[in-house]
């Protein structure tokens, strides 16, 4: 892959703030949002070169097996079907509390739920 160009871009602070908010809404960095918008504008105007590379994928790369290959069948975590015993999306898999009340969200990893020790 060719090295990406680095440019200095001067923007009105309010324009930058609006771009940063929009990027956050779409879970992109401000830089990725600017590139996305530039590519879309070039495509709409019919000026995006045919040999331009695709946008880099966002997020963490798929986990590699010991042999360096991706997951089973080359599936990425987004493409892989959930396991048969997986809880429904948006739940933690535990049955609801018997009193019908809301359950507190789990604490940080390794937390036992007790008071903090100094």
Contact residues for 42 (Cβ-Cβ < 8 A; gap 6+): 48
Q: Residue 20 falls within a domain, yes or no?
A: yes
Q: Residue 22 falls within a domain, yes or no?
A: yes
Q: Residue 47 falls within a domain, yes or no?
A: no
Q: Residue 19 falls within a domain, yes or no?
A: yes
10-residue stretch averages of pLDDT, the chain, 118 residues long: 85 97 94 94 94 79 69 53 64 64 58 56
pTM: 0.48
Structural domain tally of the chain? 1
Q: Residue 28 falls within a domain, yes or no?
A: yes
Domain that holds residue 26: 10-34
Q: Residue 41 falls within a domain, yes or no?
A: no
Structure confidence at residue 53 (pLDDT): 83
Q: Residue 79 falls within a domain, yes or no?
A: no
Q: Residue 30 falls within a domain, yes or no?
A: yes
């Amino acid at each position: 892959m060719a090295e990406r160009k680095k440019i200095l871009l001067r923007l009105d602070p309010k324009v930058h703030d609006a771009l940063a908010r929009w990027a956050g809404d779409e879970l992109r960095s401000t830089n990725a949002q600017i590139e996305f918008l530039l590519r879309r504008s070039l495509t709409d105007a019919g000026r995006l070169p045919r040999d331009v590379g695709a946008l880099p994928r966002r997020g963490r790369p798929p986990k590699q097996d010991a042999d360096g290959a991706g997951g089973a069948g080359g599936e990425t975590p987004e493409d892989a079907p959930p396991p048969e015993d997986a809880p429904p999306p948006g739940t933690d898999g535990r049955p609801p509390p018997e009193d019908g009340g809301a359950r507190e969200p789990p604490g940080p990893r390794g937390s036992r739920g007790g008071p903090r020790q100094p």
